Amino acid sequence: MSFALGLTGSIGMGKSTTAQMFADEGCAVWDADAAVHRLYSAGGAAVAPMQAAFPEAIVDGAVSRDALRAIIGTDPEALGRIEAIVHPLVGADRKAFRDAATADIVVFDVPLLFETGGNTGMDAVACVSVPPELQRERVLARGTMTEAQFEQIRAKQMPNDDKCARSDYVIVTDTLDHARAQVRDVVRRIRGGMHA
């Protein structure tokens, strides 16, 4: 049975880069955002139930995230209905990935791991972290959102200090070399414990 490691962290903390480092160490990595993308794409498992609930969200046979944002903007109740459709499908995708994985460590890259209670199904949790100034700098440097949009997203996420306090491992992603060294240490400690 493989070891399930939850990987979480707020926006701009370096989670995707860190997930790739775990993959480089021979871990299997499941990405929640990629799973939602698969479910929303044409032929994806979320398209039919979403079409039944929100026909205006379907564009060219796929679920449009822009359309969903517009729906949520006008109907605050819509988010709960969307999550009720999508979360079970994401859970099934995650279970299928874990069941099929042959790696000794399976990393589950889930931005809202604690917020959705996903941490309960993990053997351990690693949280990526940087100081708030660096987080803001990284997000705004992408040029994809305004400072107000960033603050809105951050307000919906559990505070970074709380995530770190609830995690088994904290990976500081201030530099690539520092992050990689910590990832290798986490992998070594998990593998050491598996064979103890």
Whether 110 and 10 have beta carbons less than 8 Å apart is answered as no
Based on the fold, state whether residues 15 and 109 are members of the same structural domain.
yes
pLDDT digits (tens, 9 = 90+) for 66-102: 999 899 889 989 989 999 999 999 999 999 999 999 9
Angle at which helix 78-100 crosses helix 65-74, to 10 degrees, equals 140
Amino acid at 44: G
For 95, the enclosing helix (H) or strand (E) is helix 78-100
> At 112, which CATH number?
3.40.50.300
* Residue 1 pLDDT exceeds 80: no
pTM of the predicted model, to two decimals? Answer: 0.88
Amino acid of residue 181: A
CB-based contacts of 138, cutoff 8 Å, min separation 6: 12, 14, 130
CA dist 153 and 22 (Å) reads 26
109 and 97 within one domain: no
Is residue 195 located within the same domain as residue 113? yes
Kindly report, residue by residue over 15-50, the tens digit of the pLDDT: 999 999 999 999 999 999 999 999 999 999 999 999
Residues 14 and 111 in one domain: yes
Q: How many domains does the chain have?
A: 2
- For residue 124, the 8-state DSSP code is E
Which residue range is the domain that position 88 belongs to?
Answer: 33-102
Tokens at 87, concatenated: 């979360």
Confidence of residue 157 (pLDDT cuts 50, 70, 90): confident
